[in-house]
Structure 1
Amino acid sequence: MTSPSPDQIPDQTELLARIADALDRLAPPPLASCDWLSHPAYVWTGETARAVPTLDAPSLALLRGIDDQKDRVVTNVERLAAGHAAHDMLLWGSRGMGKSALLRAAIRSAQNVHPGSIALVQVAQEALSGVTGLFATLGKIDRRFLVFIDDLGFEENDGSGPRLLRSWLEGGVEARPGNVRLAVTSNRRAIVARNMSEQDDPINPRDAVDDRLALADRFGLSIGFHNCDQDAYLAIIGGYAREFGLDWEESDALEWSRRRGARSGRVAWQYVNELAGRAGKTI
């Protein structure tokens, strides 16, 4: 059987061009580059970053009942913003006591003192596998960054997550660069749940000290946040009420906490928001 001569082969150039054009239309558009110098905050998706033009953060003065925690976090973030030695931070403990709000407020305060010097980069837990790539990018930027992982918690059978976290904190090829520090919030000091009965208690006295559970030891600052007692809860409300010129009654505030089933900074703030609504005010 003889092969066809070149002039007998159909010209498929046009067909191939149409196929290539169709594939181009199906392919996702190229990811836009991120301006890492111009915004106060970013959200990391695992593959790329989205700039946040305005950082939503309360005033530090409005964060009541956590004065010691506030001093330690603000001091550390300001050191990072100034280019000085600073710690990775684990903020752990009771829900609703202002862990995440404090980090955002500390960043905004540092940005006011050192304009343009520092930014917050929030990473969702499902995007943790892409953080090594994020570090590679941030290490090339002439700016300081606080990489923030909110409400982190690994299940007992999750081995890869804790290993990633340790590798970032302990050095090695995947460690975070010198201009980056990690800030993690968690309801459990150990971060890794030991069993279902202990997951409900964020401050478990039987936290293990073995290598798998003692991730808190890898953070330079490990700061606990504890539930309010009644006096602290009322003091938080009193501070907010004075700030916003709101009238309130102790019995009403206690009834609010009983209906919510908790006393915390978050519950106190929600009560103050209720007071403002009753008074026809915005806060």
Structure 2
Amino acid sequence: MKRGELRQSETLKYEDLKDRCLNGTAQTQKYAYLLEGLIIYRSLREDPVVKSLQNVFTSLTQEKVDWGQVYRNYHTFCALATEENWPEYLWDLVLEADNVFSRQAGFKAWGSLDLGLKNLVIHDVKAVQKIASLQPEQLQRMVCGRMDIEAELGTNSGVEWLGRMEQWPLWAPQVGEIHQDPSRAGQFLEKMRNEVKAVLRADDDEKAVQELASFYQKIGSGLMATGLAFKWDGNAKLLVTVTPDPIRKEQLIGQEREQGILLENTNFFLSRYPANNVILYGNRGTGKSSLVKALLQEYCDQGLRLVELSKQDLTDFPLIIRFLAPQPQKFILFIDDLSFEETELAYKSLKTVLEGGLEKRPDNVLIYATSNRRHLIRENFSERQGDEINVRDTMDEKLSLADRFGITITFPSPDQEEFLRIVEELAVQEGLALEKAQLRQQALRWVMMHNARSGRTARQFIDYLAAQQKINLKK
């Protein structure tokens, strides 16, 4: 081949390599533009995992690539993607987004939502679908393809070792469920999330956005989409998601009367009828707290949510209701073991919360509290004969706290026969193979050696027998 022809051939090869480089860059740039072009779901770009992927795209599309930066960005994303289970994590961000669409969808029917808003969401969902469909091998090829071309062009001198495929590992998406909540509430939430994710992955964009709107209406958006039970963090002044107790009302034996009263009031509340705040009073271990917790398992699919507070959090009540009031769900504020010493003045805050404050309790919030004291505030005989001129006024003020709960439900301790009935029914639920007479005899012995007769004591005894039986089966 003549020298001129050789030079022309090398020029053509160089131009071909440059074209391939430009084509690869354009493909990478397209993914970068997908993230840059998000509108309603623009907040996704602030997430650290999404941001790390965007950093990979950005560093790869520079005219002069800094391969050290690409290396750091790529491995950072792989680490985060594996840890957070990408792309499931990306769809979780969509479900938990707090934006104008998710908030409006919580209250409005699909037909009432603005068409322009729907179209913007369809635009964003299409972009997220393409980003979520990016496979680990594709990202690896983007990097290695660009490096191979630069190696042929001779522009990656000094980092040739990065061109080896093993230097660019694939992230490892987790297949199947990683964390499973066995409770009814947990399964309900997981089912709702999985169903809408399946539609979002499909090609029917309008149906995907409609299902997304339905999810926001049934479950909520933002923090509300992350769980069904919450706890107020008094230090940080915010709600945090917690795993709910899986207890079911069927497991609470001997509470037929008490359950009937509380369930009726809760049904009124969920049906948007007038409902009362409730105080559940009784000795320890009688199932007061368990019954309130069981309500979440019973009514989670009807929009009920549980928020646990301590009595110290009562001063934050205005902050709490301002956050909960705009939500479409119904909230029970649960205060466990509520009581006050005579020197504590926080009970006055609670009185204002229950009734009489300037800031109205929203219609989607009720308060259910448990206590071992009927009147909630410690009383002394000396107070009745104190040196105050209006002793009766002082007593009335303290007694009026319990009165401000519209309903008081009393939980009596079971007598011996009722206790044994609870034990027998719990044993059946656990499938324990034990003669009735032997079961009753061991239960009475357990009571003598441990706590007094109560539903909690019966449950502790049955848990002990269940564990003992499982160990014996392994021998």
Name the structure 1 match of 2:334: 148
Q: State the Cα distance separating 1:37 from its structure 2 match.
A: 4.8
Q: State the Cα distance separating 1:209 from its structure 2 match.
A: 6.5
What TM-score, normalized by structure 1, do the two folds share? 0.77
Name the structure 1 match of 2:459: 269
Q: State the Cα distance separating 1:172 from its structure 2 match.
A: 2.6
1:35 is paired with a residue whose SS is helix
Given the alignment, which residue of 447, 459, 462 partners 1:257?
Answer: 447
Number of aligned residue pairs: 235
RMSD of aligned alpha carbons: 2.2
1:36 is paired with a residue whose SS is helix
- The answer to which of 58-67 and 188-197 deviates more is 188-197
Name the structure 2 match of 1:223: 409
Moved >4 Å (runs of 4+):
none
Q: State the Cα distance separating 1:238 from its structure 2 match.
A: 0.7
Name the structure 2 match of 1:169: 354
- C-alpha distance in 1 between matches for 2:381 and 2:287: 25
2:398 is paired with a residue whose SS is coil
- C-alpha distance in 2 between matches for 1:215 and 1:153: 11
Given the alignment, which residue of 221, 225, 233 partners 1:45?
Answer: 233
Could you give the per-residue CA deviations for residues 143-172 of structure 1, whole angstroms, max 9, x where no partner exists? 21100111111101112x111111111133
- Per residue, is there more strand in 1 or in 2? 1
Q: Which amino acid aligns with 2:358?
A: V
Higher gyration radius (CA): 2
- C-alpha distance in 2 between matches for 1:99 and 1:209: 27
Q: State the Cα distance separating 1:261 from its structure 2 match.
A: 3.8
Q: Does 1:81 align with 2:252?
A: no
Q: Does 1:57 align with 2:243?
A: no
Contact 2:451 2:457 in 1 (8 A): no
- C-alpha distance in 1 between matches for 2:421 and 2:395: 36
- C-alpha distance in 2 between matches for 1:128 and 1:146: 14
Map residues 188-227 of structure 1 onto 2, 5 A cutoff.
188-195=373-380, 210-227=396-413
Contact 1:92 1:186 in 2 (8 A): yes
Structure 1: 5+ residue runs without aligned partners? 1-32, 198-207
2:442 is paired with a residue whose SS is helix
Contact 1:167 1:175 in 2 (8 A): no
Q: State the Cα distance separating 1:36 from its structure 2 match.
A: 2.7
Q: State the Cα distance separating 1:176 from its structure 2 match.
A: 2.0
- Per residue, is there more helix in 1 or in 2? 2
Contact 1:37 1:143 in 2 (8 A): no
